[in-house]
Structure 1
Amino acid sequence: MLKAELRKKYMQKRKALSIDEAFLLSEKIFNNFIEYFKPFQSQKIHICIPIEKFKEINTQIFIDYFLSQKIRVFVPKIIETKLISVEIFSDTEYELNSWGISEPVSNEDSGVSDFDFVITPLLYCDYKGNRVGYGKGFYDSFFETLSERTKKIGVNYFNPEENIDDVWENDIPLDYLVTPDDVLSFSGASE
């Protein structure tokens, strides 16, 4: 299927989830992530802040846990057309951007590129790690700046079902996908 079709299909599937279902599925995804990756103190994790109106995975569960375990947490902030990574702490102040997304008030880019994990939002991911986001390309540009050892991890309510037919040469696939049911690894997957 084409990205535009998948984007529409999975936005609808996500919209159909109740708030309780979305929260329970988010908890399962969180538990699968913790069990599989076993993050520990002083690691560096970049993670998206959920867009509630889009019923994104509740990554606040992850953020609260990471901060409690003294894991360094970084979140995205869009400055003009670029995604920067801002380190956050338990007392970080936030504001809504023009899209209604919560972001840190700070505009200070951490400059970190050697994250242990980058947990990224998506609408769909196929069996090769290709993802469909909202179509802005922020994460592909961000992925280009990362260390090779950084694990790029998608989180999604849904398992892969069909291939993405219009993968572009600048699309950077994920290394893993965490769903409520599974953790899929794409290392060694070829086009």
Structure 2
Amino acid sequence: MKKSDLRKKYLEKRKSLSDVEIFQQSETIFKNFVEYFKPLSLQKVHIFIPIHKFKEINTQLFTDYFFSRNIKVFVPKIADAKLISVEIFKDTEFAVNRWGISEPVSNEDSGIIDFDFVITPLLYCDSAGNRVGYGKGFYDGFFENISEKSKKIGVNYFNPDENIDDVREEDIPLDYLVTPTDVLSFFNKGLE
């Protein structure tokens, strides 16, 4: 199936989820992530702030856990047409941008490239780790500039059940996908 068709299909599937389903599934995804990856104090995690109107996974569960375990937290921000990584803390000031997305007020790129985990938003991921996002390519550009050892982890409500037909050469696949029912590894990188 083409990315544009998958994007439309999975946006529709998300629209049908209730707030209760979103919270419950987000909680299960979070638990699956922690049980599988066992993040440790002082590790570095890049994680997205959810776009509520698109019913994205509730990542507040993750960030609260990371802060409570002294894990360093970084979030994306679009600055000068590229995705940068801003370190956040419990008291970081946020503002809603022109697209309705909450992001840190700071424009200071952390310069970090050796994240332990990059928790990535997506609409769909196929069984090879190919991702369908919103079509802007920000994460592919971001993935190009981080360490190869950084684990690129997608989180989604849905498991892969169809292939993406129009994967481009510049598309960078995920290493893992965490859903409410599974943690899938695409490249057998293993946990180091």
CA shift for structure 1 position 80: 2.7
Unaligned runs of 5+ in 1: none
Distance 1:158 1:148 in 2: 26
Give per-residue Cα distances to partners, 1:128-184, cap 9 Å, x unaligned.
Answer: 000000000000000000101000000000000100000000000000000000000
Match of 1:45 in 2: 45
Distance 1:136 1:96 in 2: 19
Helix, strand or coil for the counterpart of 1:76? strand
1:156 aligns with 2:182: no
Match of 2:78 in 1: 78
Distance 2:120 2:48 in 1: 6
Match of 2:32 in 1: 32
Helix, strand or coil for the counterpart of 1:106? coil
Q: TM-score, normalised by structure 1?
A: 0.98
Unaligned runs of 5+ in 2: none
CA shift for structure 1 position 188: 5.2
**Which structure 1 residue ranges, 4+ long, deviate > 3 Å from structure 2?**
none
User: Which amino acid is the alignment partner of residue 113 of structure 1?
Assistant: I
Aligned residues: 189
Distance 2:145 2:61 in 1: 27
Q: TM-score, normalised by structure 2?
A: 0.97
Q: What percentage of aligned pairs have identical amino acids?
A: 74
Give per-residue Cα distances to partners, 1:18-44, cap 9 Å, x unaligned.
Answer: 000010000000000000000010000
Match of 2:64 in 1: 64
Distance 1:3 1:120 in 2: 17
